[in-house]
Chains A and B, each alone.
Chain A
């Protein structure tokens, strides 16, 4: 590819860049200098942006899996805006942005065109934030699932409409503060009981592959992208991506928050094939939800002298329920809902 920016690594010694103790074959795509860098540097994301990270991990893995034969359709949102500041573009693959609510449909259209032309070697990714996926793009996504269009749809979930100034979306978790769910008066931020569980909604559509992942575990995320690319049909990947600006967290805590959300049980990481959960990521060091919540100013109103320990308790209950439901602790078997579940722990059940 002409104009392809060369990747240079600097010695940092974290897993992300390449652990010298690992066999090269076991290293992540990100650890290789020959990665496609599908979204290259120079974009205008905030420092510490989880979405920029997530998009890079996903697309580079998908480019590798498809031999560079990949087209991306992107919804309006942070990713689209910061990646194409006129007159520049950081995309090194064919990329289209149409509207806010239609990324899944545009992706379906690209896939249909490729099929009509006998070019099914070229793969399609549709991608968007949580707003574009669970709210305004929901109908189109559901249609794409129902038809089984050959598209991998990726949702980068930072739990609010960030690009427009941090307003709540259908994916905003309970008690979170956003620009229109402020903890004013007796309201504890975003209301409880709301929030669409998009991965489970994808499961309910019976599509061949559904998985959740975070930017804290690139091995897992890349493996899931690879697994998804091995399948044809409608596939869904939900990636948890912290947003320092919107969450009021430190840029340096982005990876930490992604790790903590898993370790608390608030964000179950799993992989499902044909509508059945096949694998979950076990929690290695269980953390209480406070450890996660306290790092984000969007939950600051829950703590301190005017805090709401009862709300924190309710959030903890959500985490507990997830742990039980998905069997997230070692030795756990999923206790309900008939999920087929395999423990990653060697000892089994």
Chain B
């Protein structure tokens, strides 16, 4: 049903329509409205045969999902940032055991310094944990991806992360055609697990595996992700056919056909990027955008095909690999190996710093003019950074970085009225 609604609410309703049997909830900003929404639906009796378990930590949340999924139940939870890290061990366990859990991550920065606003540090930090990672551009897509996620996960026996930008999407009110229960029922078959803890047919799940067999078991997760390169577009096509709108898939090009410069990004920033692309196209610039929707598996062939005609690529990233630079860019460069395409990285929006159309325009113009360095930090206040490095360099007790930089940033003085 088409409605004007909060992103989190749309996701909560959609997840409920997917008939999860066990939902775990541990609160962390900015995911709270999602788990609260599902709790309300369970309590109101609108979500039957669903056990809603309030756990004592995110580690417990994922662990309860593991037990539930292993027992053959459709399991779901949501988290962000620190919570995702806290369950890191369990993430690897879930993918290694081949449990089709679906989890929403309301993308948020990772501390220190503690910050509750949006960037992609959290899910990027877990890019190797074996979970499929899908990124939503809009709240419509965020809702739709959950339906697709359960189908993909259960088809492959591999868990799926649905990533949506915290606050920017979760707390935004916009129009969403929330998938209705009957339509989802028709689309999502009952969960038929590939393995289950069942007294009628006892199995041992989670046995120790030594050097003689570990590599093969581990490879299975990789093999399933390679299968996902087919499954993801298939399910997206099935979804479009059933629900009447395109959603998900591996990637989506925007005005890339004749683009010399292509901007690559994930998530909601693509909206602002596309507005900027349109404005520059009006000025005759051959620029386009590539929305990456599946980050894991990384769609190497599809990216290569999409960018083969470009002269230069600019990856706008919302996370930083400390000590080297871009994360998505690194994967992208692998995909473009051998092609004559210049690839630059711009790190933007860390800790929720707004990415403005104006700043993007300047950045893209620099890219087109060949003025960009390989690694750019958009809107970085270098003076503050230099000042703090100087303080640290002077030795002695220079104090906590965050406090020093915040003090340097100053507060607007108040005049009493």
Residues of A whose CB lies within 8 Å of any CB of B are: 1, 68-71, 73-74, 80-81, 84-87, 89, 91-99, 101-102, 105-118, 122, 139-140, 142-143, 146-147, 149
Nearest residue (CB) in B for A73 is B67
A143 in contact with B57 given A99-B63, A116-B73 (CB within 8 Å): yes
Partner of B66, one of A93, A98, A101, A117: A98
- Most chain A CB within a 10 A radius of its CB, from B57, B97, B210: B57
Question: How many residue-residue contacts, CB under 8 A, span A and B?
Answer: 159
Q: How far is the CA of A73 from the CA of B71 in the complex (A)?
A: 11
B49 in contact with A116 (CB, 8 Å)? yes
Partner of A98, one of B55, B72, B93, B198: B93
CB of A234, distance to nearest CB on chain B (Å): 13
Partner of B57, one of A73, A113, A139: A139
Residues of B199-221 at the interface with A, using a CB-CB cut-off of 8 Å, are 199, 201-210, 212-213
Q: Does B53 contact A (CB under 8 A)?
A: yes
Q: Does B251 contact A (CB under 8 A)?
A: no
B204 in contact with A106 (CB, 8 Å)? no
Q: Does B75 contact A (CB under 8 A)?
A: yes
CB of A336, distance to nearest CB on chain B (Å): 32
Q: How far is the CA of A111 from the CA of B22 in the complex (A)?
A: 10
Q: Does B348 contact A (CB under 8 A)?
A: no
CB of B78, distance to nearest CB on chain A (Å): 16
A94 in contact with B68 (CB, 8 Å)? no
CB of B283, distance to nearest CB on chain A (Å): 56
A89 in contact with B22 (CB, 8 Å)? no
A146 in contact with B70 (CB, 8 Å)? no
CB of A54, distance to nearest CB on chain B (Å): 19
Cβ contacts under 8 Å, A105 to chain B:
55, 59-60, 63-64, 67
A86 in contact with B71 given A95-B202, A95-B204, A147-B54 (CB within 8 Å): no
A98 in contact with B208 given A115-B51, A147-B53, A147-B54 (CB within 8 Å): no
Q: Mark B1-38, 1 if CB is under 8 A from A, else 0.
A: 00000000000000000000110100000000000000
A96 in contact with B67 (CB, 8 Å)? yes
Residues of B90-134 at the interface with A, using a CB-CB cut-off of 8 Å, are 90, 93, 97
B63 in contact with A110 (CB, 8 Å)? no
Q: Does B65 contact A (CB under 8 A)?
A: yes
B68 in contact with A113 (CB, 8 Å)? yes
A86 in contact with B60 (CB, 8 Å)? no
CB of A152, distance to nearest CB on chain B (Å): 14
A107 in contact with B207 (CB, 8 Å)? no
Cβ contacts under 8 Å, A107 to chain B:
67
B213 in contact with A93 (CB, 8 Å)? no
Q: How far is the CA of A139 from the CA of B75 in the complex (A)?
A: 21
Q: How far is the CA of A94 from the CA of B193 in the complex (A)?
A: 15
For this complex, 9 residue pairs linking A to B, each with C-beta atoms less than 8 Å apart, are A70-B199, A71-B197, A95-B203, A96-B197, A102-B59, A109-B65, A109-B69, A112-B64, A140-B56
CB of A82, distance to nearest CB on chain B (Å): 9
Partner of B72, one of A69, A113, A147: A113
Residues of B whose CB lies within 8 Å of any CB of A are: 21-22, 24, 49-51, 53-57, 59-60, 63-73, 75, 89-90, 93, 97, 196-199, 201-210, 212-213
CB of B15, distance to nearest CB on chain A (Å): 15
Cβ contacts under 8 Å, B210 to chain A:
86
A116 in contact with B202 given A71-B71, A84-B207, A109-B65 (CB within 8 Å): no
Cβ contacts under 8 Å, A115 to chain B:
51
Nearest residue (CB) in B for A72 is B197
Cβ contacts under 8 Å, B22 to chain A:
109, 112-113, 116
Chain A, interface SS category:
mixed
A68 in contact with B199 (CB, 8 Å)? yes
Q: How far is the CA of A106 from the CA of B196 in the complex (A)?
A: 14
Nearest residue (CB) in B for A146 is B56
- Most chain B CB within a 10 A radius of its CB, from A91, A102, A142: A102
Partner of A113, one of B60, B73, B206, B207: B73
CB of B83, distance to nearest CB on chain A (Å): 14
Cβ contacts under 8 Å, A98 to chain B:
63, 66-67, 90, 93, 97, 206
- The 6 closest A-B CB pairs, nearest first, are A109-B67, A143-B56, A113-B73, A97-B206, A105-B63, A102-B63
Cβ contacts under 8 Å, A118 to chain B:
49
Q: How far is the CA of A143 from the CA of B71 in the complex (A)?
A: 20
- Most chain A CB within a 10 A radius of its CB, from B21, B49, B57, B68: B68
Partner of B55, one of A94, A95, A110, A143: A143
Q: How far is the CA of A117 from the CA of B197 in the complex (A)?
A: 13
Q: How far is the CA of A69 from the CA of B55 in the complex (A)?
A: 26
Q: How far is the CA of A95 from the CA of B55 in the complex (A)?
A: 22
Cβ contacts under 8 Å, A85 to chain B:
208
Cβ contacts under 8 Å, A110 to chain B:
67-68, 70-71, 197
| Beyond known contacts A101-B59, A109-B67, A147-B54: 16 more, CB 8 A cutoff | A81-B208, A86-B213, A93-B199, A97-B206, A102-B60, A102-B90, A106-B64, A108-B55, A110-B67, A110-B68, A113-B51, A116-B73, A118-B49, A140-B57, A142-B56, A143-B60
Cβ contacts under 8 Å, A111 to chain B:
67
B63 in contact with A112 (CB, 8 Å)? no
Cβ contacts under 8 Å, A116 to chain B:
21-22, 49-51, 68, 73
Cβ contacts under 8 Å, A96 to chain B:
66-67, 70, 197, 204-206
